[in-house]
Amino acid sequence: MGRPYVFITRKLPDDIVAPLYDKYDVNMWPHEHLAVPRDVLFKEAKQAEALITMLSDHIDDELLRQSPKLRIVANVAVGYDNIDIEAAAKRGVIVCNTPDVLTETTADLTFALLLATARRIIEAAEFVKEGKWKSWGPLLLAGTDVHHKTIGIVGMGKIGQAVAHRAKGFHMRVLYYNRSRNMEAERTLGATYCSFDELLEQADFVVCLAPLTNETYQLFNSRAFMKMKSSAIFINVGRGAVVDEKALYDALIDGQIAGAGLDVFVEEPIHSDHPLLQLPNVVALPHIGSATKETRYAMMQLCCRNVIAVLEGRKPYTAVQSQ
């Protein structure tokens, strides 16, 4: 019997994949920043016992059906909305994600984006670099305060909790909405559980960290934006499709809300002529929530460890359960 075949859909650093090369026949899509075409993915998956995938790879029932040898899909992300986990479970394919290792890093970015949007940091930095700083005025690039305000966190999982922890340092009142109550966040951080509508009505900063599911798809629609304060800032580090982007655009244009900080979009990469990117009160980032060297290394490493565990017949470290 030959060695198991592992396909990795993006070029990963040599030192990360070295333990796989020792044991398996490994092939990597040779590009670091370019997604593997679907036909190549199908061809590779047909032979593979393990796939290491990115959010941009759609692992659907059709691909799983045509990949009879497949035993594990290890996704370099905590989210797994790119994978049909029911279909994988049906075919006995284990799906793994990368929880925990990215929690603090993603919470840091969430808070950085909140601060950047509230205090107009990107605009201000460009103002200096473009030579526009000629004088001083009392309201020049004035933003809005963050400290002592109310933050409303939608999706109080581990990342939500880490964001709440940071918010406490800014003396903020923390509200949250989640499919189930997070007693630890309530006990240790004084977070208050409320309905989605109450959160929208009361929060100065509405922070979306929700995963994309059938229930959360376009949760933030025109009705939701209408409920928010006209001074509210909307932050999304969850998934783009949790938001109706047209409704968000209209809410920003009509002054229903004051600004938005977005790390995720319906289509990624977002096209530079997208209407949202034309608005001065939108801060947009290229999905960098977990993007520090330390954390991305930890995520890739965890994927490799999960692959080795499954191919050696052991229990994976971080398998996703199908609901």
Residue from the set 77, 199, 206, 282 that interacts with ligand 8YV by CB under 6 A: 77
Neighbouring CB atoms inside 10 A of 206's CB total 28
What the block records as the tokens of 63 is: 């691909």
Q: Which two tokens stand for residue 95?
A: 């799906």
**102 is a site residue for ligand 8YV (CB under 6 A):** yes
Helix runs in 4-101, H state only? 14-23, 38-47, 61-65, 85-90
DSSP 180: S
Q: Where in the sequence numbering do the catalytic residues fall?
A: 239, 268, 287
Instruction: Determine the distance from the C-alpha atom of residue 210 to the mean position of all C-alpha atoms in its chain, rounded to a whole number.
Output: 9
Supply the minimum distance, in Å, between the C-beta of residue 241 and ligand 8YV: 12
Q: Does 114 bind ligand 8YV (CB under 6 A)?
A: no
Shortest distance (Å) from residue 321 CB to ligand 8YV: 16
Q: Which of 67, 87, 287, 307 binds ligand 8YV (CB under 6 A)?
A: 287
SS3 154: strand
Nearest to 145 by CA among 119, 116, 107: 119
- The residue type found at 253 is I
- Give the x-and-dash track for 15-54 against ligand 8YV (CB under 6 A): ---------------------------------------x
Of 78 and 206, CB closest to ligand 8YV: 78
Closer to ligand 8YV at the Cβ: 77 or 207?
77
Q: The tokens 């009505």 sit on which residue? A: 201
Lookup: tokens for 198:
């109450």
C-beta closer to ligand 8YV: residue 4 or 261: 261
Q: Which two tokens stand for residue 159?
A: 């990342």
DSSP conformation class of 57: S
Nearer to ligand 8YV, 55 or 219 (CB): 55
Which position among 152, 160, 259, 289 is part of the footprint of ligand 8YV (CB under 6 A)? 289
Q: Which is nearer to ligand 8YV, 197 or 294 (CB)?
A: 294
A 10 A CB-CB count for 1 gives: 3
User: Which range touches ligand 8YV (CB under 6 A), out of 34-42, 58-66, 123-131, 283-291?
Assistant: 283-291
What angle (nearest 5°) sits at the alpha carbon of residue 33, between those of residues 305 and 22? 30
User: Binders of ligand 8YV among 175-204, rule CB under 6 A?
Assistant: none
Residues making contact with ligand 8YV (CB under 6 A): 54-55, 76-79, 102, 287, 289-290
